[in-house]
Structure 1
Amino acid sequence: MHHDALPTFIIIIEPTHLKELQSNVWNEEPFPSKLVVDNIPYEVGITYRGDHIRKFRKKSYRIDFGAYNRDFEGREIHLNAEFRDPSLIRNKLSFDFFQTIGSISPDCKHVFIELNGKPMGVYLQLESVDDLFLQKRQLPYGPIFYATNYHANFSLLTPRYNPKPSFLSGYVQKIGNDDDNRDLEMLIYKVNTIPRSDFGEEIARCVDIEKYLLWLCGVVCTQNYDGFIHNYAMYQNGETKLYQMIPWDYDATWGRDWNGQIMEYNYVPIEGYNTLTARLLDVKDIRNQYRLLLEEILETSFTVAALEPRITNLYKQLRPYLSLDPYKKKSINMFDSEPDFILRFISDRNIYLRRHLKDLI
């Protein structure tokens, strides 16, 4: 194989267990199985992962090592099928982009999976966002919440304008205790009740403003429509007590939606969405800070020149494996035309956002 060959993950599971897994896709109890990488066997538990993606033909998996695994630098990893993304690279391109602009995001890389001797195709191996994620980045221990549905919009109402059943509706606590739940409830209460005149000063005691704005730049550039009210994790720094956002599930980006359909480059406005974003950008100084950050990103990182080499490299790496992927081998032509599609999106989106920087003055 050539130098940037994909690692092969061989998963072995008892046929009876595999049948059970397939017959109930919502099962959360891991089935005992073996993962073999580079001829090293690991005893693991396996389940499907994700929400609507569990219904797809090409399933995504969560691999549970039971304890910290040194080789994988974690207790668990996620293996994403990227089924609806014809390029297979949108998630990876997004997370790497977030890191480039100074926002934290999960590390990830492509792998090739075989299950009980059958090729399953190209997958994205994703780091879990947990206490080990924080340790790896030398960040202080602190609570982490996953925004699991659209109720995580920082409002007191759902996106359909119904009252929420609770302040924490839309969130699942990954790490933390009851006090941390109360802290997050308090944040959501404050976002909705601090008077306009005091908002900038008060919210700076709860939210890491610069990190929030960098995250906002990332969502606005990649145009993840759901990313404002869903598809993120929230981390509260244990020392500063300030919250920051971590992106998750970014396959519906770079000009396509979660169905893989075209999303026009001007679909998401420069101000983004959600109640917290709206209130932050209502503060003149914060709005200005956002404009300057975004302006710099539009000149440096979010450009065809900066992103083209990354896209080309990922493509060269994945291309030989496409004909071995039972779910993708019929759509190789589409795969081949996606780099141009993504680059055109970057070019159009960049021009669109530059044109609207003046709206932020």
Structure 2
Amino acid sequence: MKKYEIFINPKMLNQLDKDIWMNEHVPAILKIGTNQYSIGLAYRGNIIRKKKKKSYNIIFHKPYTVHGAHEIHLNAEFNDVSLSRNKLSLDFFDRIGVISPHSTHILLYLNGFCKGIYLELESFDQYLLQKRKLPMGPIIYATNYHANFSLLNPEKELKTKLDEGYTIKYGEKKDLSNLENLIAMTNTLSNEEFEDQITQVLDVNQYLTWLACVVCTQNFDGFIHNYALYRNGETGLYEITPWDYDGTWGRDLHGKPLDHDFVPITGYNTLTGRLLHFPHFKKKYHDTLTSILENDYTVETQSGNIDELFQTLKPSLHLDPFIKTSVETLDQEKEFIMNFIQKRSAFLKQHMMKLL
């Protein structure tokens, strides 16, 4: 596991701690092996900012990019006893063919003090597109629960703006207007009009593949939050990608057990509901999910992935001052995840008839 060392003026660190909700970056130095970088450092996340082990956002200043990235995230994964659900989920999406940030565990030190095991995540931005040799196009983050593709917010009140819940990561203001058009057509077109026009705006097959992955991992928030939209510059179609998947594989975002049947096979949000109204989209989703359940979402496939992840963590667990996870805990958590996969897979297979 790589060692990351951050050096920061204590006054700057105090500035971060004085206002944990401040998103402005403060200057610091990041050292990785023999390489040293000038960076901007800030806390990131929502619930995690209140925890003793916080997550960080890093922007590279000098050099401006490192290994093709201008920005990275260091996630504490504090509420996940396995420290691995996020990576396990994003790797799962990547395996299936859904654009997904790559990640790796690192050991973080701050001014010489060990802060423990963190998950380094790619930022989903234009630099990721360049690294993957993907067509450039706008990227919009779903930053809160109002990003539900509906005219109503989660409190069932009319939205004041159709772009509520969204933030431009890369692009221009007009790109939000294009997204508003997608939301408007999802909520106002007749069935005949929607069926005819949606494939001109959305990569439906890609969306249904993403949906199948969210349903398998059971990210309760994943349908109205924890995603980004990328408008492919060549096709002009929206594609969707996952983000923040620690509340998965049988636990919620607080780390508490979540029943294997908590999320229905059809998921939920307005766009999904409209798509699954049509038999040929339903059939495509059925076939995609069937293939995933047979080949990817199995105890045999995921067991090896979990073993590999946990083996990288076990030697460094004792160095993390903020967690109580032990080697025995990880072994128990593997059994927990395997049990969840078995039950979740059986549940989904039992409800396949809803898709025919």
TM range, normalised to the smaller chain?
A: over 0.9
Shift of the alpha carbon at 1:261?
Answer: 0.3
Shift of the alpha carbon at 1:273?
Answer: 0.5
Residue 221 of structure 2 corresponds to 226
Identity %: 48
Alignment of 1:1-361 (within 5 A): 6-66=1-61, 69=64, 71-329=66-324, 333-361=328-356
Aligned partner letter, 2:223: F
Provide the TM-score with structure 2 as the length reference.
0.98
Aligned partner letter, 1:111: I
Shift of the alpha carbon at 1:69?
Answer: 4.8
Shift of the alpha carbon at 1:238?
Answer: 1.3
Distance 1:34 1:221, change over 3 A: same
Moved more, 45-54 or 299-308: 45-54
Whole-angstrom CA distance in 1 between matches of 2:326 and 2:255 = 13
SS in 1 for 2:37: strand
Moved more, 189-198 or 212-221: 189-198
Whole-angstrom CA distance in 2 between matches of 1:221 and 1:330 = 25
Aligned partner letter, 1:64: I
Residue 3 of structure 1 corresponds to none
Shift of the alpha carbon at 1:70?
Answer: 5.1
Task: Give me the CA root mean square deviation.
Answer: 1.2
Instruction: Check conservation: 2:59, 2:70, Cα contact below 8 A.
Output: yes
SS in 2 for 1:228: coil
Distance 1:204 1:67, change over 3 A: farther
Moved more, 70-79 or 30-39: 70-79
Shift of the alpha carbon at 1:335?
Answer: 3.3
Moved more, 97-106 or 323-332: 323-332
Moved more, 60-69 or 340-349: 60-69
Shift of the alpha carbon at 1:276?
Answer: 0.1
Structure 2: unaligned runs, 5 residues or longer: none
SS in 1 for 2:38: strand
Aligned partner letter, 1:20: Q
Corresponding pairs, count: 356
Which digits, 9 at most, give the CA deviation of each residue in 1:276-297, with x for residues without a partner? 0000000110001000000010
Whole-angstrom CA distance in 2 between matches of 1:301 and 1:21 = 42
Whole-angstrom CA distance in 2 between matches of 1:327 and 1:63 = 21
Instruction: Check conservation: 1:67, 1:75, Cα contact below 8 A.
Output: no
Instruction: Check conservation: 2:81, 2:325, Cα contact below 8 A.
Output: no
Shift of the alpha carbon at 1:72?
Answer: 3.2
Provide the TM-score with structure 1 as the length reference.
0.96
SS in 1 for 2:22: coil
Shift of the alpha carbon at 1:67?
Answer: 6.3
